[in-house]
Amino acid sequence: MKDIRSLSLAEITEALVALGEPKFRAKQIHEWLWQKSVRGFDEMTNLSKPLREKLNAQFSFFLVEEFVVQKSKDGTVKIAMALHDKRVVEGVMIPDDERSTACVSSQVGCSLSCSFCATGFLKRERNLEASEIYDQIYLLNQHAKAHNGRGLTNIVYMGMGEPLLNYDNVMQSIRYITSPEGLNMAARRVTVSTSGIERGIRRMADEGVKFNLALSLHAPTNDKRETIMDINKSNKLEDVIDALNYFYEKTGNKITFEYILFDGFNDSIEDADNLIKLYKQVPAFINLIEYNNVEGVTLKKAKAEKRDAFVAHLRKHNIEVAVRRSRGKDIDAACGQLANKH
Ligand code: SAH
Ligand code: SF4
C-alpha cells in the first residue's frame, strides 16, 4: 500500500477526486498530516467514517516508532526509532536553560566513513523519507514538552547520515517543519550540517533557503582533512569555501565551522593559524567541539591546555569562536556516537 505521506497536496487531491470527494478535503487531510501531525486516518475527525474507511483501504502510514528511550544525567534524551521496514535510526533531544534542540538523522547509516565518526562505521542502508525526518521531530518534541513544558525550539540535522546526499527529502522535511502549511517553525532555528558537498551547498543557495548551514571542517588544510574525511578528495576546501560564499551571498546567513579538536592532530598553534586563514575567506563563526571518543578510533580528544591555548590564540585574532561542551555522553548520545547499538 502507498504511504499517504509520500503524496504531495496535488496527488492527494487527485486521489480524493477519484473517490468522488470535493477538492477541499485534500487540503483538510494535508493539514491533519503536516500541521496536526496525526498518525492515522481515524484521528481525522472532520472526515466521515465511510471516507476514513476508504482511505484506510487504499493508503497506509509508514510511521516511525520509538522503541528505546535513554535519559542522560544532564537531561539529554536519546531515542532509538524503528522505521516501517524495521531499520533503526536515532535522534536526540538536548535541553538547556532556554532551548530544547532536536538532533535528527537524515539517513540510515552514512556512506562517507569519516574516520572519527561512529555513524561512519555503519554502511549506508538508505535515505530517510521526509515523513521519517518529520516523525523524529514529532517524537523528540514530546520529550521536550515532558521536560520543559514548551517543546522544541531548535532543530539540527546532525544525527546519522549526510543530509546533502539525501537532498530532496531533507529539503521537503524542512518545508514541512517551517512552512505555515506545516509546523510553522522559524527557519532560522533550523541548522543543516554537512561534511562539505559543494553541489548541494550551491543548490540550497539557489533555492534561497532561510535556514543555517554548518560545515564539518575539522582540519584546516586539504592535506590534513583528506586523512580523516574522504569527501575532501572530491570536494576540495577551496571549492567548498567558494560554495559557502555563494550560500552567504544568496541567503545572508553566516556559516558555522565545526571543528573537533583532536589530540596532536589539529590542535597546534599552526593549525589555529591555518584555521584563521580559512575563517577570513568566508563570513563564519567557529564552534570548537569536544571529541567524544569512539571505540576503535585512534584519534582522541585534545588535552585541556592545548584546547585553551588554541581558543586563546583565536580570540587574540578576534575570531568569533564558541567552545561546545559535549552532552549526553553517558548514553552515547553525543555527536558522532550514534551507532545503533540496539
Ligand atoms: N554528516 C553531517 C551531519 C552529521 S554529523 C556532517 O558530517 O556534518 C554531526 C557532527 O558531529 C559533525 O560535525 C561531525 O563531524 C561531528 N562528529 C562526528 N563524530 C564525532 C565525535 N565522535 N565527537 C564529536 N563530534 C563528532
Ligand atoms: Fe557521515 Fe557526518 Fe559521520 Fe562523516 S561525520 S561519517 S559525513 S555522519
User: Is 335 designated active site?
Assistant: yes
- What pLDDT score does 190 carry? 98
**DSSP 8-state class, residue 262:** B
Pocket of ligand 1, beta carbon within 6 A: 116-117, 158, 162, 193-195, 216, 218, 258, 260, 289, 291-292, 294, 335-337
- What pLDDT score does 191 carry? 97
- What pLDDT score does 120 carry? 73
- What pLDDT score does 328 carry? 78
> Using one digit for the tens of pLDDT, what is the confidence trace for 142-189?
999 998 888 999 999 999 999 999 999 999 999 999 999 999 999 999
- What pLDDT score does 126 carry? 95
- Please tell me if the CB atom of residue 195 comes closer than 6 angstroms to any atom of ligand 2: yes
- What pLDDT score does 340 carry? 65
- What pLDDT score does 330 carry? 77
Among 119, 270, 256, 268, smallest CA distance to 193 is for 256
Using CB atoms within 10 A of its CB, is residue 167 exposed (0-12), middle (13-18) or buried (19+)?
middle
Cα of 109 from ligand 2 centre, angstroms: 9
Q: How much is the pTM?
A: 0.95
**DSSP 8-state class, residue 84:** T
7-to-30, 35, 131 alpha-carbon distances in Å? 9, 15, 10
- What pLDDT score does 115 carry? 94
Among candidate residues 90, 129, 132, 258, the one labeled active-site is 90
- What pLDDT score does 122 carry? 80
By the 8 A CB rule, do 121 and 191 touch? no
Kindly give the number of the ligand 1 atom that is closest to the alpha carbon of 336.
19
E runs forming strands in 61-158:
65-71, 77-82, 88-95, 100-103, 107-108, 126-127, 154-157
Stretches in the chain below the pLDDT threshold 50: none
User: What is the CA angle 96-100-103, rounded to 5?
Assistant: 115
User: Is 90 designated active site?
Assistant: yes
- What pLDDT score does 327 carry? 79
> Using one digit for the tens of pLDDT, what is the confidence trace for 2-36?
999 999 999 999 999 999 999 999 999 999 999 99
